[in-house]
Amino acid sequence: MAWKPAYILLILLCTIINYIAALMIDKLESKDLRKFWLVLSLGISFGVLIVYKYFSFLNESLRGIFTYFSFSYPLGHFDILLPMGISFYTFQTLSYTIDVYRGDIEAEKNFFMLSLYVTFFPQLVAGPIERSDRLLPQLKEKVSFDIDRVLDGIKIMLLGFFRKIVIADRLAVAVNAVYNSPEDFSGIYYIIATILFAFQIYCDFSGYSEIALGAAKVLGIDLMKNFDRPYFSKSIPEFWRRWHISLSTWFRDYLYIPLGGNRVSKPRYYFNTMLTFLLSGLWHGASWTFVIWGGLHGMYQIVGKITRDTRSKAKSTLRLEKTFILKIFQVIFTFTLVCFTWIFFRANTISDAIYIIRNLFSDIDMWKDINYLYRVANNMGLNYFEFLVGIISIALLLIGEFLARKRPLYISLSKSNFVVEGSFYIILLLIILTMGVYFNANQFIYFQF
């Protein structure tokens, strides 16, 4: 409300509509009336989302089509300020009403309790998108002060601050320098900037999620895990089981499965998959670059499904199944595919993305020149030392995630010697304070979604 007071009315509207709709669905026996209230809640919630997030995008897209065919377009330009967190709280309220309609949960009769579920501050503006059956019962439990739980929450938050302030905000300087003026750079700059962006967006978003999880834990609330070492994935489907888990499972449970999932004919399966990923891309932002990003991931899924048997036979013939070499290759190949899609996600326009892709290897003959590579590291908005700090931080991140493959890092550290654990967090805090980027600090990327 301090940012834009009137926009609290949107959260209030979504909460009231879904509160009333869920009560009516729970109360009524008529299938038609229950469906009416569900459709009403869906219509109003999605209506708010479309008007405030997508109306300008749709308006400008139609204007472009009319202009292309030399027709006059009746509507003027609209500049609507995007409400912070609107994609998250609309999806959270919708999942609640749908779950009541399905009979998975009972309608919440206490309006203030439902309001707390919708506006729970740690995860309100950027997730994770919590389900009512997980969060509502926790909000009703009496919580007493527990020093160990509070310390665990603070430890998780520190790890999140390291990802955001030390890694993401530092990498953002180099990424922005290249992607905001792609015509001023050449191939290797695009490749490095894209790889850095892969870690920037991951550390930015997973950093927020860890801060949210830690803040909630201090209050005695356990939020769902939103990331699970996604860049160690050996396939695109596995990547989506590890990346933005709350959104991936939301689309799976409330769109993909209701459409029939994979229990349908192949053409219908391909349609279900592509539609889910296109809408997932559109959820991320009102731009065709995000739609293409989602479409590419949908295409990856479909191609993977079509070639699955062939790939299995090839691995069996070459006796590569479950070998370390194959796993390394799969991780690198999957990361490469994901990075290619990040080009569209980060590019300011489709034309910028195409320009970058067409010139990815424009200076390949210079890559063997160590002096050229040194100049590259110094010409991306960061000096050589800052660039090196970013690379070392990424390496530490990956090492930490590898060590945390069985259980969270803060739990593993708690099992170690007190001196070791204490020293780790003191050093981590010092790194955040001394190596963190505090000049021209970037807001969390997912605030814009």
Q: Annotated active-site positions, please? A: 284
The count of other CB atoms within 10 Å of the CB of residue 98 is 20
The two tokens of residue 21 are 């709709």
Helical (H) or strand (E) element with 368: none
CA distance 95 to 90: 9
Pick from 337, 130, 316: nearest CA to 237: 337
CA distance 391 to 393: 5
For residue 162, the 8-state DSSP code is I
Tokens 């979604």 correspond to: 449
- Rg of the chain taking only CA atoms, in angstroms: 24
CA distance 207 to 222: 16
Within 8 A by CB and 6+ apart from 294, the residues are 277, 278, 279, 280, 281, 282, 284
* Positive/negative CA dihedral, 326, 332, 334, 340: negative
Instruction: Give yes or no for a cis peptide into 128 (omega within 30° of 0).
Output: yes
Do residues 211 and 378 touch, judged by C-beta distance below 8 A? no
Pick from 24, 25, 15, 26: nearest CA to 115: 15
Tokens 């909460």 correspond to: 15
CA distance 427 to 117: 36
The two tokens of residue 40 are 């009403």
> What single-letter amino acid sits at 3?
W
